[in-house]
Structure 1
Amino acid sequence: MRMDPLTVLRDYAVRGDLDKITRNGDEFRFSNEYTFPCTSETAYRSKQGNLYTLETLIFFLNNHQLKHTEYLQIARTHKTPSVTLPDRKPLLDYLQGRSASADAIELHYPAPLIHDPPPPPLPPPPNHLAAAHPDDSNNDPTVRDTAALDYVEMIRALERPLKDREALLECKHRDFYSVLVASTKREEERHRMESQQRKDGLVAKSRLMGTDDRGVWKEGEELGFDTAAAKAKMHFNFKGSKIGEGVPIILVPSAFQTLITIYNVKEFLEDGVFIPTDLKVKQMKGAKPDCVTVQKKFSRDRVVTAYEVRDKPSALKAEDWDRVVAVFVLGKEWQFKDWPFKDHVEIFNKIIGFYMRFEDDSLESAKTVKQWNVKIISISKNKRHQDRAAALEVWDKLEEFVRSRSHN
């Protein structure tokens, strides 16, 4: 005797005999009464158009008490197709006997049960087609075309979708973070190449026309270049000055307990994305850089000043301290030990300070910092789309400070 798996499953659920349904390999066995393949399609059609499989419905019945988000998560873990939220209540009401029927039910007897004979071949064209032209049905093209159309419709009626929209959107085994990083790196390289080509062109033109040609530097300013940095570059190339002269410096702590370090400062300031230091250390395989160069890349129409980021103040020479414009503070006094300043009051009058914290951290962690003249920047532990606003806040404060300092 052949039975629809939906009817059998409902009968077992109403009787409270779900524990008598066991899985053996690719089959579900209902006591000693029935056996169905796990992937058998039932008569319950989802609002998305696909028929739910027996495996999907049994898993749903065994986990219906969970919140829908928790149910979806555990279904993905077990690699089992899930019931959609719109179908959840009417399906459960039917399976547990609270409703006698549902509009989504299309009773049928799809695949044969185990040991059943194969399905019969497609039937011949409807009799009325042959009866309409008993003598020339084989020669009449209209009859042949109509018969062929009926066969196509019969085939289409047996078709079933392999995946629904929800399954396609799950994108298993796809890591969108890696896609974001790769895309960001390509964009960064493109901007760097364009910027370098323009700078090289400006310097080359200056060499031909003379380093004091004001028209060349004016042209560079109109293009958005930091001509002071370009002049400094020409100065150390032609006059023998030390490399790096004129490039402003940002200091970050070398301790890992701070949010911004030399490992992740570039992604945060250039891309507006916070990546935990421990993750960056793994990606870089422990290769700690001595110096990192960062630029504000949020504006595509102009080139801005580059900054050197360092985490070893003890390696700075006396003349280097004039180039230090910002520091990310740890919140500890010992961070400023051996700095060439009287106290933190003098430090934060000459250097702008930033303190990075998670927005839900206790206020006690910033108790010392609040006594200093520093800017407190908060970011979320989980909402990475908010990082960009925090990075922009740092750039705005930094550029404002650099402008005021250059005017003094």
Structure 2
Amino acid sequence: MSDCLLALRQAIKSKAAVTFTKDGESISSVSAATHIHVPPNHSFPKDTPTRYRKPDSKSSDPSANPQDFYSLVAIYVAWMLKDLTGSEYMKQCREHGLSLGYISITERKAVIDWLEGKDTHPERFAPLSDANSSPSKRKYVPDTADTEAVKKIKQNEIELQDRNSVLRGIKPNNFSNIRASYADKLKKMKDAGKPGADPKMAARKARNMYPIIMISSSPTALITMYNVKKFLQESVFETSQDARSRAAAEGNPRPEDMIPIYRKRTHIDSSGKETEHHARYFVVDSTEALAKFGADAWDRVVCVMTTGQAWQFRPYKWNDPRQLFHHVKGVYVSWSNDPANTKIKDWNVTELKIDPHRRHVDKAIVAHFWKTLDSWTLQHKPWLIKS
């Protein structure tokens, strides 16, 4: 059985027309009516006790103690006459046959608010009985035949694959060999930042282990001992011929066999603090000059600039370019409009292309060179970078 209060409230909230009936016919007289029709299809005797308790009542069962609860007609009339003043409301209640049992003026607002959904659960409402509560949900039990049918369907199921699942393969990937190959390099990088962690590295730092850059001694090379300092230190390219003429005019017809290069390095730590360091490099173009740095000079070589001519590497510690550029950073220097050099395709070198005319791009080219070299040095010879 539906709760008459909830049915009335739902009809009012949905703005459905509630009517009074007698013998199944709609009438306008409240006092003459016997039933109240509540859409969509509920019809209640107008004197049906609701769950709204009268003042000072403690009863919780409207059917057992109907005198302790307001009737349905009293509830509806209170809402129907909600816009009237207090005196007019009481007058109309008496005319509708509710001389006793109508909702008092002080209670009318609470009832109207609940019917219109503004109040969810007034304290004066008795709880719903089990007969009006919704039935408990039953646990779903699947049909045995349906279960067997699903099992058969799954046995014939074909798993669809997309490009990601195909590329991933059916075997688990094991990258332990790659991890092991980089473990030693990572350990060196970590130990390089710990003072006293490696005595050999600490000794190297104590002896001012400045990195060394080797360039080609070929007279046709774009970078020679005449113009390398201005290029790497001042970020300005000058042809070797012009630099040689300028040096001769200044009384220096022959360049030094070891040229120091100074540059500023900016380091940003994890906290965002920016610090500036002055770094020094040495440039040589022969193994004779390199030998002046000591027996471990090749350990300090971080870069070899090449013109693509293999004879350059004959006196080197590693004369095979593939092996050489495994131990040092290889840089192939050429004009930006030169055709591709097929000889260097498997040398593991970075191409440094210099524009023949636009000198304003030199700064970007040199900055790229230092960035590439710093990254390689930090990974392979971190003890040569002073932090």
Confirm or deny a common fold (TM above 0.5). Answer: no
TM-score for the superposition, normalised by structure 1: 0.39
Would you tell me which structure has more helix in proportion to its own residues?
Answer: 1
TM-score for the superposition, normalised by structure 2: 0.41
Would you tell me which structure has more strand in proportion to its own residues?
Answer: 2
Rg larger in structure: 2
